[in-house]
Structures are given as C-alpha cells and as structure tokens.
Structure 1
Amino acid sequence: MAKVTFIGAGSTVFAKTLMGDLLSFPELDGLELSLMDIDPERLAVTETVARRLAETMGRHLTVTATTDRRRALDGAGYVISMIQVGGYRPATVIDFEIPKKYGLRQTIGDTLGIGGIMRALRTIPVLVDIARDIEELCPQALFINYANPMAMNQWALSRAVPAVRTVGLCHSVQGTARQLAHDLGIPYEELTYLCAGINHMAFYLRLEHNGEDVYPRLRRLVDEGRVPEWNRVRYDMMMRLGYFVTESSEHFSEYVPYFIRRDRPDLIERYRIPLDEYPRRCEEQIAGWQELRRSLEHGTLPAVYLSGEYAPLIIHSMETGTPRTVYANVPNRGLIPNLPDDCVVEVPCLVDRTGVQPTRVGALPVHLAALIQTNVNVQAVAVEAALTGKRDHVVHAAMLDPHTAAELTLDEITAMVDELLDAHRDWLPQFRQPGGR
C-alpha cells in the first residue's frame, strides 16, 4: 500500500480531516502514513489522532512521525503539504499590522495583496526545497499542495522543479457550490457546474439543476433581498459580471479595488466586510487545536465527518483506478487560451490510475479574463521576486496589486515593503540588503 507523507502535519485539525477521509475508503486499508512537522508537540498530537482514528474506524494503518523531512519523504507515493512558514505569530500578524500603519486594511491576506505577496516570498523557497527532496527521494510521487498563496506557489514550483508532478488543491469550488445549492434550496448532489479561472477567482461558467440554468434564480435572490448579508460582495459582482465567483466575499473584496476603501468607510458596513478576519480565524484554529489536545488527553476523539477534500479522492482514484473529476491548480498550457500560458489556472481535471489530467476549458468571457489578469500580473512578479531574490520586484508586485494601488501612494508602497521585508528578514535572507536589486 502507498506511503502518504504529510508535511506540516502539526496542522492537526486539517490533518485529522484528511486522515479521516483517507481511512473512510476500505480499499486504502493498510495505508502507510508518514507525519512530519518542525514542532514536536504538535506532531505528537497529530500522531495520536492518526492512531485513534485508525482504531475508531477499524483500519490497519502504519504511522511514523518525524521532524526529519527527508526521512518522511523517502519512498513516498504521495506528499501533501499544509505548511505555514513563519506561523500565525509572528509572520501573519506582521503581514496585517505593518500595512495597517499605512492605512491598508485586509481581510484574509493569504492569496493576493501585500499579505499574499509576503506569504509567497516566505513559502516558495520552502516548497521548492521540498520539491527538490521529492525529486531525489521519491521522484514518482505526486506532490499535493494546500499552502497559500496557491497560484503563486504552484507557479513557482512549475518553474523551479518542473520534473516533479504537482497539483494545488483548494475547497473553494466545491465549497461555494454547496453554498449556492443551500441558497437555492436544492440538494448539492443535483447541482452540476463547469468552473474555471484562477484559484480564488474562478467563475461558474455553467451552473445547472436538472439541466436548467439556475442563474436566473440566483438573480431573483438579489432582486428579492434574500442574499445572505455575509455574501453581498459576490452576489453584487455576479449581477455586474454575469457569473458567480468561487471564493468568499471576504476574500474577493481584497482582490479588487472596489470595496475596501479608506475614503469610503460606508462600503465596509454596506457589504459587511470583516476586516482582520484571518487573524480572528487563526485564533479560533489555535483554540480548536487546544480543545482537540485536551479531548485526546481525556481519551476521546471528536467525531469524524467526511469533508469531500480532493486529496483523499485523488489518492483513492490513483490507487484503485476509480475515475473522478476534481478541480485542481495546474499550469495553464493552453487550457484557458486567453490567460497567459505559464500562469496557474484552476480547472476540472480527470483522475484515475494514470494520475491527474487537466481538461481544456477554452477561452473565458473577455471581461472575466481581463479581471483575472489583474491578479495574474501580481502573481507573475511576486513569483519572479521569490525565485530571483530581487527586492525591487517585491515593490513592483505591490504596485500592481489592485487593492494596494487603490489605497497607497508609490512612496507609501515602497516604505511599507521595506518595513515588511525587514520585519520578515529571518525568513527572507535573500532580501536582507536594503535597497538591493
């Protein structure tokens, strides 16, 4: 049976979700699970969870836990990354607090914007190192990445280590589809769709129930004032663009220049935009981990729910030959011809024993491609900065970001980037020299 390696296994709550899904398949009984994290305490908790899950679900599972990444990777068939370089404290806190000094507010800050750029600069070198270890120790493995900023990370991997098979996974496509089914009052299983774009900015090009286009019904929700207040941004954009976007309103509000404005505080209230949302979520996740650890100490394990995450489904399909369609982040290579060929797109992919096979979607409606391109521009320059160590390109990426450019002057952007790079110097040695090119 295949060896599945978790890198960043100290993300116990998410690791528990993936492990529960994997163990739900009888065909994967006897799986070998290798857990790796740099935090021994968190790693030990995840190891306990893995053993308890196997016992509870009646599965045979070989579990090893190590802080040695190369040991964890040796002989792996699948490698799942869920790392957060620099952690919530101090790295994410820095990403929020320094921009705030300049008047730049964020909601999530992990995909685009200055927060996404800084996270990419910290994360890409580590992912590239992991991929190079994979190339040496388990060259046939599929490298599955969950770490954000998804598109930037996958773009850098495809450039730096092209021989390693890799896909980036997110739950925004199927998660949003479930939300829309709920809003429409129909079973999720009866909703069919075709979605494409980039991670966190993909659009449902077709959205149907029993062969009927449901977009008119979604527009009626708007006309009748029945849109959930936490989802006002996306429904408003649907009315203007004609298509619904995959990622949440709080995410999408910071990918465009229209909603978070210092000169228009009324927009924050009108659209119910939760500023500083990601730090709040991180605090909740830390509390959730503490609760999980306490429950394990008392001999209990929280209930296991099947999540529908794509990684376990991919592993099951590749091990058994069961065909499935998933949405994954892969190099474009003509899949969406009116987006750059080397950027990373999120498209439907067929999965079976031969692996993950992206499908060609065709050209997007011109206005969707144009909006997506504003985000791809930032991704391209941030990836260049991460791979070359050119400090100026960090500034250039921030200059191109739609939200940052709408709020700050060029001098403010440069000063903010310098302060962020200095604050993150322990994770970004290639940018330590102020003024470096």
Structure 2
Amino acid sequence: MADLAVDDRLAAEVRLFDIDKSAADRNAAIGNRFADCSNGAAARYKSYSSLEEALNGAEIVVISILPGSLDDMAADIEIPARYGVSQSVGDTVGPGGFMRAMRAIPMIADIGLAIKRCSPDAYVCNLTNPMSVLTGALHKVFPGIRAWGECHEVTKIRKLVAALANKNADSASFTHRDVEVNVLGINHFTFVDKISVRGKDMLPQYREFSNENRQSGWTDPSEISSDAEHDRFFGSRNLVSFDLLQRFGMPAAAGDRHLAEFLPGRYYLEDPESWGFALTPIEYRKKDRAIKIARLEQAARGEAPLFGKKSDEALTDQIVALMSGQPFISNVNLPNVGQIAGLADGTIVETNAVFSGRGIQPIFSGSLPPALLEIIKDHAQRQTNLLDAVLTSDVAPLVELFASDPLVRHLPKAQARALYTQMVAATSHLLPKEIARAA
C-alpha cells in the first residue's frame, strides 16, 4: 500500500478478499487512508465477500495467505524439536516446510482454479511460502497461468554490496536498487555468480569482504531496529552466507536463517548462536503479530499515523513493467525452461527474469557448482514429488519424502515415521482427508 501511495505510475483499483472479511475491511480502510494522502496515482481499495467477485476481470492478482494459524506453525516447530530437529524458520524446507506445504497446496490450488475461471489472462504473483511448491501448484492446476513467485531475500546481498560501493565512494550514493546480480537457485537457497554496481564488477570485493569477516560477521545497519528482541530473533551476522561461499565458491544471496535449513542440522542449526542467528520462537511471533494487528486497527480507525514508506520489494516495479511495457529485471520464481542447467524442466527455480509488455521472460542464468547443484536438485525433486503427491492424493510416497529431508534423514526410520504421524495429527484439520487418515 505504501509503495502504491508513493508511485505515480499506477492508478489501481485494488480489490481485497480474505476468508476473514473483517480483515479485508480493515485493510481497505488503511489503503484508502494511504490514497487520501498519496503523492502518487491514488490507488483505491475495496473489500469483497467472495473470491470470485474480487477476481472477476482482474489484470493483476497477488496471493498472500497464512496456511493455518501460528498455533499450527507452533506444531511445525515444537514437535520436531522433541526429536532433536531444530528449525530457524520452518516455512520452506525441513519438517515444518513439508507440513506447511501439505496444508497450503490445496488452498493455493483452489485459488489457481478460481483465477482460471474468473481472470485467466491475469498476471499472478505468489508471495506465500513455501514459495517454490506453491508457485508450482499454480502452474500445475492451471497450465499456461502467467504466475511468478516474488521473494525479497536476494535484497540482503544487494544491500551488503551497496554498502561496499558506498564505502568505496565515501558517500551514500548507492542503494540495493543499483546492485545487479545474476541469481541461481531455488527460493531461500539462492546464489549469485555475478555482482556489479553501475557496470563495476563487485564480486572480487565481495569475496574479500566475506573472507575478512567470516569470523566476526556483518550486520546490515538498516536491519537494526529499536526492538532488541526482534533483532535477536530475526537478525543475523551473515556468517552462514560467508561460510557457504568458502564451501562452494559462490556467494549465497538469501538470509542465514533460511539458508541454514537446507543443509543437515549439524552444519548450522546444532549451534545457531555461534553462527550469528537464533531460532525464532512461536511465542515471539504471536506477540509480534498481536502488536502489529493492534497498530493496524488503530490506523484503520484513523487513530494513528500511517507508518508505511517505500519498501524494498520489487512488486510494484514488476507490475508497472507489465502494464507499461518498460522493461524491468528482477529475481523471481518460475518453472525451469533451461534458465538453470542441470535441473529438470518444470522445476520451480529462482533466477532473474525480464518483466515487460511481452510478459515475464526468464533469463538464462548458467550453472551451479556440482556439489551445490546436487543439494539443490535434491530439494527441488522432493518439492516436485510432494506437490504431485498432494494434488493426486497419493499418500504412498509422503513418509519417505518427509524422511529424506536433510534435517530429518539422520533419524531412524521408526522415529521419522513417528514424527511425521504426530505432525500430521497436530494439523489434520487443515490437511486433505486422505492424507490425514493415512497417517
């Protein structure tokens, strides 16, 4: 909403739908407050009672849902912890990401089919995690859908490089928007093999900086807030990123809390504090969410000033490019059609793509180091197989897929099955009946 308020290129009619109508009403009130004080083209907001009504004839669709509640997410984190399986986030891979995907795939599939009925020509942006699986679900249920997955994690390395460029220039001339990177990987486990700022190659300097700070780490000053508890549970010192560069020879682009979950727990999650990050407890998420909702309700009633400012997100720029035809390059999640060598066609991968009046064209990004490719291929194939199993209600492969994740595979088979069964039971009310019964 803040991005639309400061943008002078989009005069949007924004339709809001939520299964909790009161939340959509509240957000419409906030959006229209932004519009009233807008410096831009004054996007207007209205809430709708049905998904079909909101979607009918839409040009752009943005999907951002929570598949379940924070209590459900608590089960995703706390049950594996009893088996000695730690997770820093638990929404992408690992046992938490697996369960979240099983809950969310049917929800996203329903939305994808509604888009097919009501706005088949729309461009569709998915913001929901697990990003790869759910973006894949949209393409599975609606072949030909013009959908992409949007994630801001690559902003982290771009901000670091902008800081290096500013240090060189002895000024604050550069932001992350001036940093160009060539992205390769899958969502939340992304890497870059080219980095430049206004034509200058910054990869050598990044390597040098990483090596110099691989023991002490580095924290982005813009990520430091006045809330020490928030910074403790959501911050990092980039030590995992720097270590992965040493291991694989290619800079990691995502945040440490996500990167850590793609490798066996003994690497980073066994002692996360020594790697400069923390495991985020659900109780803190609940507390933080309650504070944010209270602030939103005050803003909707006009009892508090609007707190938004232009964000680090690229979504508004992507939409403008699609609507205006003015090209814009951004990292996105799309089916692989050859942009990453060595991964199967159709695999949801994260690379750069060109947004323009011709749509979204992925950019050929090249290849990954062999050892890194094997890790990514393992996760990507598991995500593809999980998606297929849930969409076809094929329960047979689910336990084996679950047990094959790097955070789980060290467990004896009986323990892995017990963990799977307990996690399914904890959120069975949100799972397809066939899956819940089979567990």
Q: TM-score scaled to structure 1, two decimals?
A: 0.88
Q: Note the 1:232-381 alignment, pairs <5 A.
A: 232-259=239-266, 267-277=271-281, 280-381=284-385
Give the corresponding residue for 1:13: none
Shift of the 370–429 alpha-carbon distance from structure 1 to 2, 3 Å rule, reads closer
Relative to structure 2, which stretch is displaced further, 236-245 or 75-84?
A: 236-245
Kept after mapping to 2: 8 A contact 1:203/1:245 = yes
Contact 1:107/1:274, CA 8 A, preserved across alignment? yes
Residue of structure 1 equivalent to 2:190: 202
Aligned partners of 1:435 and 1:40: how far apart in 2? Answer: 34
- Which of 148, 152, 164 in structure 1 is aligned with 2:133? 152
For residues 194-233 of structure 1, the aligned pairs below 5 Å read: 194-209=182-197, 210-213=200-203, 214-222=205-213, 225-228=216-219, 230-233=237-240
Aligned residue in 2 for 1:165: 146
> Residues 172-212 of structure 1, C-alpha deviation per residue, up to 9 Å, x if partnerless?
11233113433675433553321111111110111234234
SS in 1 for 2:47: strand
Q: CA deviation at 1:258?
A: 4.7
CA offset at residue 304 of structure 1? 2.7
Q: Which moved more, 1:190-199 or 1:72-81?
A: 190-199
CA distance 1:259–1:184, change in 2 (3 Å): farther
Query: What TM-score do the two structures reach when normalised by structure 2?
Result: 0.87
Name the SS for the 1:235 alignment partner.
Answer: helix
Other structure's SS at 2:62 match = strand
Match of 2:432 in 1: 429
- Cα 1:425–1:409 change in 2 (3 A) is same
Quickly say closer, same or farther: Cα 1:242–1:219, change in 2 above 3 A.
Answer: same
Shift of 1:370: 1.6
Give the AA of the match of 2:184: A
In structure 2, the gaps of 5 or more residues are: 168-173, 220-235
**Is the contact between residue 189 and residue 258 of structure 2 (CA under 8 Å) also seen in structure 1?**
no
Residue 96, structure 1, aligned to residue 99, structure 2:
no
Does the CA contact (< 8 Å) of 1:421 and 1:431 recur in 2? no
The verdict on how the C-alpha distance between 1:349 and 1:120 changes in structure 2, with shifts beyond 3 A counting, is: same
Q: Match for 1:70 among 44, 52, 63?
A: 52
Asked if 2 retains the 8 angstrom alpha-carbon contact of 1:176 and 1:246, the reply is yes
- What does residue range 129-148 of structure 1 map to in structure 2 within 5 Å? 129-148=110-129
Q: Which runs of 5+ in 1 are unaligned?
A: 1-18
Q: What is the count of residue pairs matched by the alignment? A: 412
Q: Using the TM superposition, give the Cα deviation of residue 360 of structure 1 relative to its aligned residue in structure 2, in angstroms.
A: 1.4
Q: Please, which moves more after superposition, 48-57 or 334-343?
A: 334-343
Q: Give the structure 2 partner of residue 192 of structure 1.
A: 180
The verdict on how the C-alpha distance between 1:221 and 1:168 changes in structure 2, with shifts beyond 3 A counting, is same
Distance 2:363 2:418 in 1: 43
The answer to whether the 8 A contact 1:95-1:420 is kept is yes
The reply to whether residue 382 of structure 1 matches residue 386 of structure 2 is yes
Q: Distance in 2 between matches of 1:182 and 1:285?
A: 31
Contact 1:418 1:434 in 2 (8 A): no
CA 1:371 to 1:282, structure 2 compared with 1: closer, same or farther past 3 Å? Answer: farther
Deviates more, 1:374-383 or 1:331-340: 374-383
Partners of 2:383 and 2:216 in 1: CA distance = 36
Contact 1:351 1:357 in 2 (8 A): yes
**Deviation for aligned residue 1:353:** 1.5
